[in-house]
């Protein structure tokens, strides 16, 4: 499974009920005959009028429509069941209009990218997740002629998916990807909420923050709440930054050396890391000077490795290539890599143009290399951000 002995960024398949993927047989209720459901009406229509019908969809329990749909589904399939005890169910409506209802202990499997290497049976935590790709069912025979309804709980919220149009064969691969996206959204909804709240997200980005893969399970929530709720978030930000001590930094960078581009720069990168760990002002300056340059170097070398183009390459070409690879690797722009948002982050925070006349000289690759960045911008906070950007690039490439 692992291409290299210490390879960390691999997809891990993990069962909800048992990390060793040994599932027990789920509870199943069989209905000999059910109605031929095709979807839900999206508008009011009189007899004989044309109407729009939603035959497939996915939604979370934050929406009013969720309760409109789930109440009707429950009335059909869960009418003799105490729904307060149900935390997930799968309905399969077969071609002969019989149906099977699977309750609670479903053999669910989630395919996720992890931040570190695992041994079989080892506990996986939210902080170990780099991305979530698919959600599927083990041991349940889903036919291409079946119609499907699945509802599940993550934390204190539910997700609902249905596919009730069978003029075309059921596409299991597409459904697994859509369920994975729904599970990913519910698991990290607070991150998506920040990205969708443009003013809030822009405040974070302006100060150099991003939902970095290393932070979105731990620090990012506290960080975003500080920017949202505190008149001055600096004290809380400093407290969060202090989490990145020697042990945490070692945890982050140890995996980098599995990548050839990173390992070839190990001496330089470790010099920047050691400067940061000195925990003094001059160390932060040296760390940023080294690592900020290496951010561009790693992207440029990766671009050359992939395209063999080394002349007349624009910064825009480099960061667009990173964006494309993020989409390809995860199969979605909505992945926890947030490739489009990271593209804008690199463009506007790391590689923007500067203007001495207007005073637009915030710390960036260009202001640092041209020697016009302000001394006070070379802070511990910025040094941590450089490390987190490099770590983000590791997962991309």
The string of pLDDT tens digits covering residues 138-161 is: 889 999 999 999 999 999 999 999
Beta strand 129-137 pairing with 108-114: antiparallel
Neighbours of 224 (CB within 10 A): 24
Q: CA 82, CA 79: separation in Å to the nearest integer?
A: 8
pLDDT of 55 above 80? yes
149 or 51: which carries more pLDDT confidence? 149
Q: CA 179, CA 16: separation in Å to the nearest integer?
A: 14
Q: Where are the domains of the chain?
A: 11-187, 190-396
End-to-end CA distance of the chain: 18
Which H helix or E strand runs over 44? none
Query: What pLDDT does residue 188 have?
Result: 95
375 alpha-carbon distance from chain centroid? 35
DSSP reduced 3-state for 125: coil
DSSP reduced 3-state for 397: coil
Which range has the worst mean pLDDT, 101-115, 257-271, 381-395? 101-115
Segment 23-51 mean pLDDT? 85
pLDDT of 13 above 80? no
Query: What pLDDT does residue 125 have?
Result: 87
Percent residues over pLDDT 90 in the chain: 81
Segment 283-303 mean pLDDT? 97
pLDDT of 321 above 60? yes
Q: What are phi and psi of 292, to 5 degrees?
A: -65, -40
392 or 3: which carries more pLDDT confidence? 392
Query: What pLDDT does residue 130 have?
Result: 94
Percent residues over pLDDT 70 in the chain: 93
Q: Which candidate, 395, 374, 396, 391, places its Cα nearest to that of 291?
A: 391
Q: What are phi and psi of 364, to 5 degrees?
A: -155, 180
Segment 318-329 mean pLDDT? 93
pLDDT of 16 above 90? no
pLDDT of 5 above 50? no
Q: CA 94, CA 143: separation in Å to the nearest integer?
A: 8
Q: Are 179 and 134 in contact (CB under 8 A)?
A: yes
pLDDT of 54 above 90? yes
Segment 68-88 mean pLDDT? 93
Tokens 């609670």 map to which residue? 104
pLDDT of 11 above 80? no
Q: Which residues pair with 134 in a beta bridge?
A: 111
Which range has the worst mean pLDDT, 15-19, 188-192, 338-342, 344-348? 15-19
Query: What pLDDT does residue 12 have?
Result: 55
* Secondary structure, 3-state, 158-217: EEEEEECCCCCCCCHHHHHHHHHHHHHHHHCHHHHHHHHCHHHHHHHHHCCCCCCCCCCC
Segment 91-109 mean pLDDT? 94
Q: Are 377 and 363 in contact (CB under 8 A)?
A: yes
pLDDT of 203 above 80? yes
Q: Where are the alpha helices (DSSP H) in 55-154?
A: 64-77
Query: What pLDDT does residue 121 have?
Result: 83
pLDDT of 200 above 80? yes
> Tens of pLDDT along 243-289?
999 999 999 999 999 999 999 999 999 999 999 999 999 999 999 99
26 or 261: which carries more pLDDT confidence? 261
> Tens of pLDDT along 214-247?
999 889 999 999 999 999 999 999 999 999 999 9
Q: Are 114 and 167 in contact (CB under 8 A)?
A: no
Q: Residue 35 has which token pair? A: 């109605």
User: Mean of the per-residue pLDDT values for the chain?
Assistant: 91
Q: CA 179, CA 161: separation in Å to the nearest integer?
A: 7
- CB proximity list for 152: less than 8 A, separation 6 or greater: 87, 88, 108, 158, 159, 183
């Amino acid at each position: 499974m692992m291409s290299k002995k210490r390879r960390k960024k691999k997809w891990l398949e993990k069962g909800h009920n048992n990390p060793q993927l040994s599932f027990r047989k789920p509870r199943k209720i069989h209905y000999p005959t059910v109605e031929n459901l095709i979807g839900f009406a999206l508008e009011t229509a009189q007899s004989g009028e044309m109407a729009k019908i939603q035959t497939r969809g996915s939604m979370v329990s934050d929406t009013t429509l969720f309760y409109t749909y789930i109440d009707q589904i429950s009335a059909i399939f869960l009418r003799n069941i105490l729904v307060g005890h149900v935390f997930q169910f799968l309905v399969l409506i077969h071609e002969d209009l019989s149906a099977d209802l699977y309750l609670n202990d479903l053999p669910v499997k989630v395919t996720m990218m992890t931040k570190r290497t695992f041994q079989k049976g080892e506990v996986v935590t939210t902080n170990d997740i780099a991305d979530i790709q698919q959600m599927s069912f083990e041991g349940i025979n889903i036919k291409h002629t079946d119609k499907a309804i699945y509802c599940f709980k993550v934390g204190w919220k539910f997700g609902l998916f249905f596919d009730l149009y069978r003029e075309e064969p059921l596409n299991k691969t597409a459904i697994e990807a859509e369920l994975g996206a729904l599970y990913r959204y519910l698991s990290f909804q607070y991150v998506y909420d920040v990205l969708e709240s443009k003013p809030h997200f822009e405040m974070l980005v302006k100060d150099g923050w991003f939902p970095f893969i290393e932070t979105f399970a731990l620090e990012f929530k506290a960080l975003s709440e500080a920017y949202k709720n505190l008149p001055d978030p600096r004290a809380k930000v400093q407290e969060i930054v202090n989490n990145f001590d020697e042990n945490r930094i070692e945890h982050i960078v140890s995996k980098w050396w599995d990548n050839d581009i990173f390992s070839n720069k190990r001496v330089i990168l470790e010099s920047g890391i050691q400067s940061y760990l000195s925990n003094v002002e001059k160390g932060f300056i040296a760390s940023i000077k080294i690592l900020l340059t290496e951010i561009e170097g790693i992207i440029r070398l990766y671009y050359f490795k992939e395209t063999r183009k080394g002349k007349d390459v624009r910064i825009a070409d480099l960061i667009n290539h990173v964006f494309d690879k993020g989409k390809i690797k995860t199969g979605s722009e909505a992945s926890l890599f947030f490739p489009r948002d990271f593209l804008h982050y690199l463009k506007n925070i790391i590689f923007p143009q500067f203007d001495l006349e207007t005073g637009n000289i915030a710390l960036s690759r260009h202001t640092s290399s041209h020697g016009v960045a302000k001394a006070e911008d070379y802070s511990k906070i910025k040094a941590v951000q450089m490390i987190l950007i490099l770590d983000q690039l590791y997962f991309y490439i």
